[in-house]
Structure 1
Amino acid sequence: MSKYVLIGSKGCGSVVIELAMLKAGAEFELEEIPYLEPGPDRDRLLELNPLGQVPTLIMPDGDVMTESAAIILHLADAFPDAKLAPATSDRQRPAFLRWLIYLVSEIYPTSTFSDDPARWQLPKDAQDGYKRTVDQYRKTLWGHVEDVADTPCFLGNDFSAIDLYIAVMRNWRPGRKEFSQSFPKLTEIADNIANDPMFSGVLKRNFDT
């Protein structure tokens, strides 16, 4: 194998990695699957990643990587010219690491744990209230990101993979309209990514924007 294979699903976190691959100029093949649907695609995914989640990345040497932040940091090392992350000597590096991990450890799981409340055996009459509560908490979490965000990129004038996360995750609940009303700086960052010809086609394909 001489290229990466990215296993992803429409509208999911794998879109961040697809965008990062484009920015890096990495040679890759996208295998888009409905990762939650039982069948041979999910069976193969589970063999590669016991959690059955996307993104799952098969490396050129056949090894497997999971966890989007880990993949981003790998790509940043493998393709330094892409500037997916500030250099280790850059004063922005600590802030980048802090907010990268914040996005994937604090905000991202609110989708994992609330998209399908029935999964957690919540009573039917409690599921809508649970989703509303989590959505409000998610807005609070995004508010902290808005407070520290710069523009035109999250780190000011310097692009980083955090901009890609914002451009993708703003499409998730509570939705683009509410996101734009609540978080103007993050919306500007996301719009800058969405309007970049390198990324626009992927975002349109995944989110019908």
Structure 2
Amino acid sequence: MKLYYAPGACSLSPHIALLEAGLPYDLVKVDLRAKKLENGDDFLKVNPKGQVPALVTDDGELITEGPVIVQRIADKVAAKNLAPARDSAERYKLLEWLTYINSELHKNIGPMFNPMLSDEAKGVFKDRATSKFKYVDSQLAGHDYLMGKQFTVADGYLYVMLRWADGMKFDLSGLNNLLAYKDRVAARPKVQQALVKEGLVKAA
């Protein structure tokens, strides 16, 4: 498989999932501004959407959209329990979390990376996202991970949003469940491995 990524982008979520799953893959870095690969090839010929993540399977199938990609990865290694069984009540809960992270966190924090956005507009997005983080904090009470004791692909996605929030100087003080959760996910060896592979942290 090939994962097309940009360092620290939302493609970090399926990158973490691939490592947690123990699946072999190749990383292909994308310049999102130029829509070019490192070798100069046109990324739009790989993914006409021009966005990461994009996953190309061993049989050549292109899969886009992070929440879909991570479920595909999890389903390839069901024994790893990175996603509950298909059609189970727990699977729909995972879908609920992936959708919430995608629509309420990702879509509010993402626009803040736009340098053309005014500080006032960024403040609106930050306030919205912070209120959503408060909800997540309430749901993490007594839980190690979003689904309870088991790490799932939704946790990798939420962790990326928390990294973005750090970069944007969000004030998450007082959200003790969420802050402890962030540290717990960050301490996972495969999460650290993904960060090192993307050049986001130095190898220990």
Pick the TM interval, shorter chain: 0.7 to 0.9
Matched, 1:35 2:32: yes
Q: How far apart are 1:137 and its partner, in Å? A: 0.8
1:49-64 equivalences in 2 (<5 Å): 49-64=47-62
CA contact (8 A) 1:7 1:30 kept: yes
User: Is the alpha carbon distance of 1:203 and 1:182 closer, same or farther for their aligned partners in structure 2, counting shifts above 3 Å?
Assistant: farther
> Partners of 1:182 and 1:58 in 2: how far apart?
41
Structure with higher RCO (Cα < 8 A, 6+ apart) = 2
Tell me how far apart the structure 2 counterparts of residues 206 and 138 of structure 1 sit (CA, whole Å): 26
Which residue matches 2:149?
157
Q: Distance in 1 between matches of 2:69 and 2:200?
A: 22
Residue from 75, 78, 82 that aligns with 2:76: 78
Q: Are the aligned partners of 2:5 and 2:11 in contact in 1 as well (CA < 8 Å)?
A: yes
Matching residue of 2:175: 183
Deviation digits for residues 33-56 of structure 1, max 9, x if unmatched? 222235465862212222211101
Q: 1:168 aligns with which of 149, 154, 160?
A: 160
- Does the 8 Å CA contact 1:166/1:189 hold for their aligned counterparts? no
Partner of 2:124: 133
TM-score, L = length of structure 2 = 0.85
Q: Could you say which residue in structure 1 is the equivalent of 2:8?
A: 11
Structure 1 counterpart of 2:112, one-letter code: S
CA distance in 2, matches of 1:166, 1:184: 15
Question: 2-side partners of 1:44 and 1:75: how far apart?
Answer: 25
Q: Where do 5+ consecutive residues of structure 2 fail to align?
A: none
Between stretches 14-23 and 94-103, larger displacement belongs to 94-103
Query: Does structure 1 conserve the Cα–Cα contact (< 8 Å) formed by 2:195 and 2:201?
Result: yes
Relative to total residues, which structure has the larger helix share, 1 or 2?
Answer: 1
Deviations 1:40-80 (A, max 9, x none): 65862212222211101111111111000011111122111
SS in 1 for 2:4: strand
CA distance in 2, matches of 1:60, 1:47: 17
| Unaligned runs of at least 5 residues, structure 1 | none
* Whole-angstrom CA distance in 2 between matches of 1:27 and 1:40: 20
Paired positions, count:
199
Alignment partner for residue 200 of structure 1, among 174, 184, 192? Answer: 192
Instruction: Among all aligned residue pairs of Structure 1 and Structure 2, give the percentage whose two residues are the same amino acid.
Output: 27
